[in-house]
Amino acid sequence: MHSLLTSSSAAAIPVHAVSAGTWPALQNNLTSANRSFALAQGFAGRPGQHCLLPDPQGALATVLLGIDAAGRRPDPFAAGRLAALLPAGDYTLSGEIGDPALATLSWLLQGYRFDRYRKPSPARARLVIPDGVDGEEISLIAESAMLARDLVNTPANELGPGEIEAAIRGLATECGATVTSIVGDDLIARNFPMIHAVGRASTRAPRLVDLVWGDPAHPKVTLVGKGVAFDTGGLNLKPDASMLLMKKDMGGAAAAIAAARMIMLAKLPVRLRLLVPAVENAVSGNAFRPGDVLASRKGLSVEIGNTDAEGRLILGDALALADEEAPELLVDFATLTGAARTALGPELPPFYTHDEGLAAAIARLGMAVNDPVWRLPLWPPYDGLLESKIADVNHISGGGMAGSVTAALFLNRFVEKTKAYAHFDIYAWNPSAKPGRPEGGECQGARLIHALVKQLYPRG
C-alpha cells in the first residue's frame, strides 16, 4: 500500500468538505472562536479554499475544504489538493466528498514528487483509507500513473530508446511477463522500415519492444505506445519553444506502460501485449527527408510530408504488427498532434474509434474514473487529404486543417483485422497544477483503459 495511505484512524484530523451552499449551516456547528477564525480568513466554502481550525490548545483540530458550488459538477479530485498543503499527520475525509475512491486516488496523485534530481520530500500528510475503498487497488493505480509521470519527467539525456526498453523490462520482471526487442538494422531485416527510418539518425539505436503476459487462451488485448524519447522535428527542425518539452514525446509509451502495469498487477484474465516503438528523432546526414517515400510493414508506400510528423510513422509499423494477430481490443496512445491541443486543450485528449459501443464505454468510463476524453470523428471525406501523387499515401494532410483527424485516419489504414480499435491523441503534460494533477508529466488515458479492460474481462 502507498506510503501516503494508512488504515489507522487513531488521532486522525478530520477534513470536512463543504460547499458555498452548505457553509452557512455548518457554521452553527462550530465553536464561536472557530467560526470567527474561519470568517476572518475569508472562508466561504468556495472551490479551492481551505481553512485550518485549531483546538483550544492551538493544535490543528479540523480542516475545512471548499468544493465546487451547486450547479457545477464537483471536481472528484478536489480533496487531493490538500495532500500538498497540509502539515504532516493523518487525516480523514468527511462531508461532501463525493466519490471516496477518487478522493483517495487524488490524494496520492497530488502527493507525487519527481525527486530524481533533488532531495526527497520530507514526511507528508497521510490519508486514512475511507470505508469501502480498496487501498491496495487505489495504490496500484496511483503508483502506475506515477511510473508514467516519472518516465515523462525524466530528461532525454537520461531516457533514450534503450532506457525505455529497460523500463519495460523492469515491468516484465515485476509482473512475470516476457519481453523481446528488435534493435537497429534488425528492424529492416524484420520488416519495420518506418521505425528504422525515423530513428536511424540518432546515435541511440531505434527499437521495437514487445512485452507479452497472460494465458494465451484468454482474450487478446494489445496496447501500443509512441516512444519518441526526444523529437527535434528532424530536418523540419522545431523552433526553440516547441522543442523545449519534447522529452515528453514518449508520453504515449508511458501511458501504455502504466495501463499495462495496472492490468497485469490486477491479474485481469487477458492475453496482454504491449508494443512500444522507441526512437529518437534526431538530425544527421542519414536522417529521413521531406519528400522521401518509405516502405511500411503494411505494404503501403508512404510519402513524407514533414519529418516532424514522425510519431504516426513508427506507430504505423507497430499497429500493423499488432493487427496481424487480430486482437479483440487494440488501443494506442500517442502525443501526436498540436491540432488536438488546439481543439480540446491539454486536459481533454481526443480519441477515435469506429466502434460505437467501444466509444460509449470509453466516454462513460473516462468520466467515471476522472480520466476524461472526448470523441472526435474518423471522418471519411478527410481521407482524401492524405492523397499522394507518387505513393500510396502521404502521412500528413494538405492544407493544414483537421490535423488530429487526418493523423487518426492515417493510423487507421494500418488496422484491419482487429475487432475493436481506439486511438488516443494525448498531451501527457500538465502545464499548470490542478488537484490531483501537479505541474509536469501526466498519465492520460491509462486509468480509463484499465477500467475498460476490467469491465470487459472481469476476474471470475
Q: How far apart, in Å, do the first and last CA atoms of the chain sit?
A: 24
Copy the grid coordinates of residue 13. Answer: 484530523
Residue with the three cell numbers 546515435: 203
Residue with the three cell numbers 501516503: 4
Contact 427, 349 (CB under 8 A): yes
- CB-count burial class (<10 Å; 0-12, 13-18, 19+) for 250: buried
Q: How many CB atoms lie within 10 A of CB 1?
A: 13
* Alpha helices for 46-134 (secondary structure H): 100-110
Distance separating alpha carbons of residues 124 and 111, to the nearest angstrom:
8
Distance separating alpha carbons of residues 196 and 186, to the nearest angstrom:
9
Closest CA to 109 of 148, 155, 152, 164: 148
Three-state secondary structure call for residue 340 = helix
Rg of the chain on CA atoms, in Å = 24
Q: Has 226 been annotated as catalytic? A: no
Q: Has 81 been annotated as catalytic? A: no
Residue type, 284: S
One of 81, 126, 297, 312 is an active-site residue; which one?
312
Closest CA to 74 of 49, 99, 42, 43: 99
One of 46, 124, 169, 238 is an active-site residue; which one?
238
Closest CA to 418 of 354, 352, 337: 354
Distance separating alpha carbons of residues 168 and 62, to the nearest angstrom:
44
Distance of CA 56 to the CA centre of its chain: 45
Distance separating alpha carbons of residues 394 and 299, to the nearest angstrom:
14
Residue numbers annotated as active site: 238, 312
